[in-house]
Amino acid sequence: MRVLSWNLCKRADRAEGIGAALLEAQPDLVLLQSVTLPLFEGLRRFLSQLGFAATASSIDDARSAGKHAANVIAGRWPLLRMPSGWAGGGAPQRGWVQRYNRLRRELVPWTGVAPRPWELLRARAETPWGQLDVINALVATGMRNPWDKVKTCDALATTLASAPRRPRLVAGDLGLPKREGADGFCGFGVGSKGRGPLWEEAELALVGPAARHGLLDAFRAVHPFVDAPAEHSVRTDGAPRRFDHMLVSAELVPEEAEYRRDWSEGRGLSDHAPLLVSFRVRSEWSYEAVAPTGPTF
pLDDT in tens, 50-100: 999 899 999 999 999 999 999 999 999 999 998 766 544 444 556 778 888
At 176, is the pLDDT very low, low, confident or very high (cuts 50, 70, 90)?
Answer: confident
Model pLDDT for residues 206-227, shown as the tens digit of each residue: 887 778 788 999 998 998 877 6
Contacts of 97 (CB under 8 A, 6+ apart): 91, 110, 111, 112, 154
Beta-bridge partner residues of 252: 281
At 141, is the pLDDT very low, low, confident or very high (cuts 50, 70, 90)?
Answer: confident
The ranges assigned to domains in the chain are 2-281
**Read out DSSP for the chain?**
-EEEEEE-TT-GGGHHHHHHHHHHH--SEEEEEEEEHHHHHHHHHHHHHTT--EEEE-HHHHHHTT-SEEEEEEESS-EEE--SSSSSPPPP--HHHHHHHHHH--SS---SS-S-GGGEEEEEEEETTEEEEEEEEEPPPTTTSHHHHHHHHHHHHHHHHHSPS--EEEEEE----SEEETTEEE-SSTT-TT--HHHHHHHHTTSSTT-SS--EEHHHHHS-TTT-TT--SEEETTEEE--EEEEE-TTEEEEEEEE-HIIIIIT-S-SSPPEEEEEEEPS----PPPPSS----
At 180, is the pLDDT very low, low, confident or very high (cuts 50, 70, 90)?
Answer: confident
* Residue 242: pLDDT over 80: yes
* Residue 46: pLDDT over 70: yes
How confident is the prediction for the chain on average, in pLDDT?
Answer: 86
At 257, is the pLDDT very low, low, confident or very high (cuts 50, 70, 90)?
Answer: very high
Of 158 and 70, the structure prediction assigns the larger pLDDT to 70
CA angle 220, 285, 245 (to 5 degrees): 25
Of 146 and 40, the structure prediction assigns the larger pLDDT to 40
At 26, is the pLDDT very low, low, confident or very high (cuts 50, 70, 90)?
Answer: very high
* Residue 189: pLDDT over 90: no
| Fold type of domain 2-281 | Deoxyribonuclease I; Chain A (3.60.10)
Q: What is the pLDDT of residue 248?
A: 96
Of 263 and 235, the structure prediction assigns the larger pLDDT to 263
| pTM for this entry | 0.91
